């Protein structure tokens, strides 16, 4: 739900006439997640909602779509975003300071390609932590390509292409920390591989937050990341497949095999799967695991990774096969799967059983 012109998503959600949004809402209503992360949803970028998220909730989610029951999310959070925030210095070295290439995060306008969190449970807004302002060069042993960025560019270039946030929600007197981000795709760069390197280090930042790394200082000046006793769930389009694709595999592998990540979901018997993905044929054949794909290109890019202390009951990827009556929610009138008719990503879900308090 992103457009290159600011305010377009606000206009498109102002009524209930958008067929693609109706399908997206029906998918959400079908899965009925209690907590939901939506990536690439335009909002102002300063931490507020211009009305587009509220419009989507009111005109689409709160109204039955394609035979599904309405769903209400009384709590929402629009994290501030680095996308489309124009740098004061030339970042890509072309001699011109302009968007989208010279955005601190790639974007045509501030808040382009942002993400939003919707919840049926209270969000502890005053306890949210973010690492939006952490400079890339301040990560120890970073992978920033040597010699590509000027000293001036390095002084303003932040690590997170959107934001890295820890959002606590309260569920039946238990606090779950949502660790959310949307790293840049590891492509659309040159021989210097600046996007691949940034994707790698954005994923490393997730691991460092889990590890409570000493160098971390959040946007409010608080040191460290998560505590050892914190229950958490990593959520995001991480733009990284541990086996296929163009990214640097080490960072995503370190994350999904982390000792505090529930291995059954990340790489075990409860890894989210689908029937539809198994029969999908991307333009470029990939190695095995097709039922774990979450993207039309034939990659696993989207993750819901709970901490090891949380009990996992079920998981899945919303990718109906051709026999499923909900198949039409991901295809056009001719039965073809195209990004412009829905999304190029598939919704990943995980059911958790929390302890009684």
CB 258 within 8 Å of CB 299: no
Q: What local confidence, expressed as pLDDT, does residue 355 receive? A: 75
Read off the pTM: 0.97
Q: What local confidence, expressed as pLDDT, does residue 341 receive? A: 85
Angle (CA) 196 264 303, round 5°: 35
Between CA 111 and CA 182 the distance in angstroms is 13
Maximum C-alpha span of the chain? 59
Place of tokens 């509220």: 54
Residue 287's alpha-carbon distances to 165, 279, 293, in angstroms, are 33, 14, 11
Q: Give the mean pLDDT of 228-255.
A: 97
Between CA 338 and CA 335 the distance in angstroms is 9
Helix (H, G, I), strand (E, B) or coil at 117: strand
Joined tokens for residue 357: 């308090």
Helix (H, G, I), strand (E, B) or coil at 142: coil
Q: What local confidence, expressed as pLDDT, does residue 289 receive? A: 86
Nearest to 234 by CA among 224, 246, 225: 225
pLDDT tens, position by position, 175-230: 999 999 999 999 999 999 999 999 999 999 999 999 999 999 999 999 999 999 99
CB 241 within 8 Å of CB 301: yes
Residue % of the chain over a pLDDT of 90:
93
Between CA 2 and CA 16 the distance in angstroms is 17
Q: For residue 357, what pLDDT band results from cuts at 50, 70 and 90?
A: very low
Q: For residue 280, what pLDDT band results from cuts at 50, 70 and 90?
A: confident
Q: What local confidence, expressed as pLDDT, does residue 282 receive? A: 81
pLDDT tens, position by position, 86-134: 999 999 999 999 999 999 999 999 999 999 999 999 999 999 999 999 9
Asked if the model's pLDDT at residue 356 lies above 80, the reply is no
């Amino acid at each position: 739900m992103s457009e290159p012109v600011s305010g377009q998503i606000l206009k498109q959600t102002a009524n209930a006439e958008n067929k693609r949004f109706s399908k997206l809402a029906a998918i959400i209503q079908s899965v009925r997640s209690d907590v939901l992360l939506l990536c690439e949803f335009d909002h102002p970028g300063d931490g507020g909602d211009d009305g587009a998220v509220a419009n989507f909730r009111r005109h689409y989610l709160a109204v039955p779509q394609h035979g599904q029951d309405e769903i209400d999310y009384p709590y929402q959070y629009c994290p501030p975003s680095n996308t489309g925030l124009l740098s004061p210095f030339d970042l890509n070295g072309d001699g011109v300071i302009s968007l989208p290439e010279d955005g601190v995060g790639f974007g045509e306008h501030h808040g382009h390609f942002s993400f939003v969190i919707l919840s049926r449970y209270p969000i502890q807004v005053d306890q949210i932590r973010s690492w939006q302002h952490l400079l890339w060069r301040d990560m120890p042993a970073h992978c920033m390509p040597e010699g590509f960025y000027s000293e001036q560019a390095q002084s303003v270039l932040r690590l997170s292409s959107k934001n890295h946030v820890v959002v606590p929600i309260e569920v039946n007197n238990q606090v779950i920390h949502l660790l959310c981000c949307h790293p840049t795709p590891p492509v659309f760069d040159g021989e210097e591989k600046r996007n691949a390197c940034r994707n790698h280090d954005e994923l490393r930042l997730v691991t460092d937050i889990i590890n409570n790394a000493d160098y971390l200082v959040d946007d409010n000046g608080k040191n460290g990341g998560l505590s050892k006793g914190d229950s958490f769930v990593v959520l995001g389009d991480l733009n990284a497949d541990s086996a296929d694709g163009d990214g640097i595999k080490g960072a995503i592998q370190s994350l999904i095999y982390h000792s505090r990540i529930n291995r059954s979901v990340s790489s075990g018997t409860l890894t989210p799967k689908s029937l539809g993905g198994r029969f999908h044929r991307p333009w470029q054949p990939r190695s095995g695991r097709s039922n774990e794909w979450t993207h039309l290109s034939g990659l696993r890019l989207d993750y819901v990774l709970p901490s090891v202390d949380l009990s996992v009951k079920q998981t899945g990827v919303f990718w109906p096969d051709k026999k499923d009556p909900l198949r039409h929610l991901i295809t056009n009138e001719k039965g073809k799967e195209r990004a412009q008719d829905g999304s190029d990503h598939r919704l990943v879900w995980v059911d958790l059983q929390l302890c009684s308090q």
